[in-house]
Each structure stands twice: as C-alpha cells, then as structure tokens.
Amino acid sequence: MKMIYTVAGMLILAASAADARVSYDPLRCEALKLQRESRLQQCMSNCEKKVLNRDGFDGAACDDTCRVRYDRAVSRLDRRPACRPPAADPHQCEARALKVESRHLICQASCERKGRRAEFDLEECHASCDSWCDAAIAEVLSGTICGDGRAGDGAAEDEQPPTE
C-alpha cells in the first residue's frame, strides 16, 4: 500500500513540475539564457587555454564551435514554453478584464456595507476601489494577451461568429 502512495505522489510531483514548465516565465527564461551565456564564456576560456598550451591549435575554429553551440542552445531555449509569451487573445483579455471589474464591484459593495458605521469614510473607500481597479485594468491591458484589445472593443469584432 505504501508503494502505491509513493508512486502516486511521484506522479503528482511530475505533473506539477510539467505544469510549471508550460507557463510563460520571463525571469526563468532570462536565468536560463544567462546560464547558456556563462557556458559560452567558459567554452571560450577553454579555447584560450588550449591556444596557449598546444602548438598549432586553431583558437578561431574553437571559438566558432563555442558560438555555434551557444546559438543552438539559445534557439532551443526560445522554443520552450517558458520563453514564449502567450499569443494575443481578445477573448481571454476580455475575461481577465471582466474579472477585475467584478472584483471592483465586490469592493464597492464592501464599502457600502462598511459605510453603515459612522466612523467609516465611504468616499475614501470608493476612491481606493477605483484606483485599485484602474491600476489592475491597466496591468491587464498592458499584457501580451491583450495585444489585440478586448473582445468587446471592436478590435476583435471580425472574429465574432456570424449572426443569421
């Protein structure tokens, strides 16, 4: 019985690790690119050492080999999901913006409930909700997913199904 739990736990960990690798993560991608660049510099340093220690060693060819290896590694890295930003999707953009707007309405309702107390500043609460919503909407719209605008903005209206 213990073996089953161990195998199931390993499968769950493997699945969660796979999910973590699938999403776009620019910081992880940058770290991986810096590792590749570090390997390039190490390879070129090894080439310099070989030039000094071996007569007739072609340092330029060695450097070229290092650069080709680096270019291939970066090319493979750029194809990984972690290094590819999500494509623009007006419907997903609209969904995220609507989620922010619904949270704004919940915030406003919370202000109204709290506003029944005499010492509560209702105007300040509403202003806080408004500024939070404005910042959150701006963040959503500045994302890659909103590159084509929101679904209701007219930017993506040509993607709407025809009505009969």
Please determine, for residue 29, whether its predicted confidence score (pLDDT) is greater than 80: yes
User: What is the pLDDT at residue 105?
Assistant: 94
Confidence of residue 79 (pLDDT cuts 50, 70, 90): confident
Please determine, for residue 21, whether its predicted confidence score (pLDDT) is greater than 90: no
What angle (nearest 5°) sits at the alpha carbon of residue 104, between those of residues 100 and 110?
140
Q: How large a percentage of the chain has pLDDT more than 90?
A: 31
Mean pLDDT, to the nearest integer, of 83-107?
A: 87
Token reading at 143: 């994302």
In terms of phi and psi (left: phi > 0; alpha: psi -120 to 50; beta: otherwise), the region of 89 is: beta
Answer for the pair 18, 82: CB distance below 8 angstroms, yes or no. no
Mean pLDDT, to the nearest integer, of 112-116?
A: 85
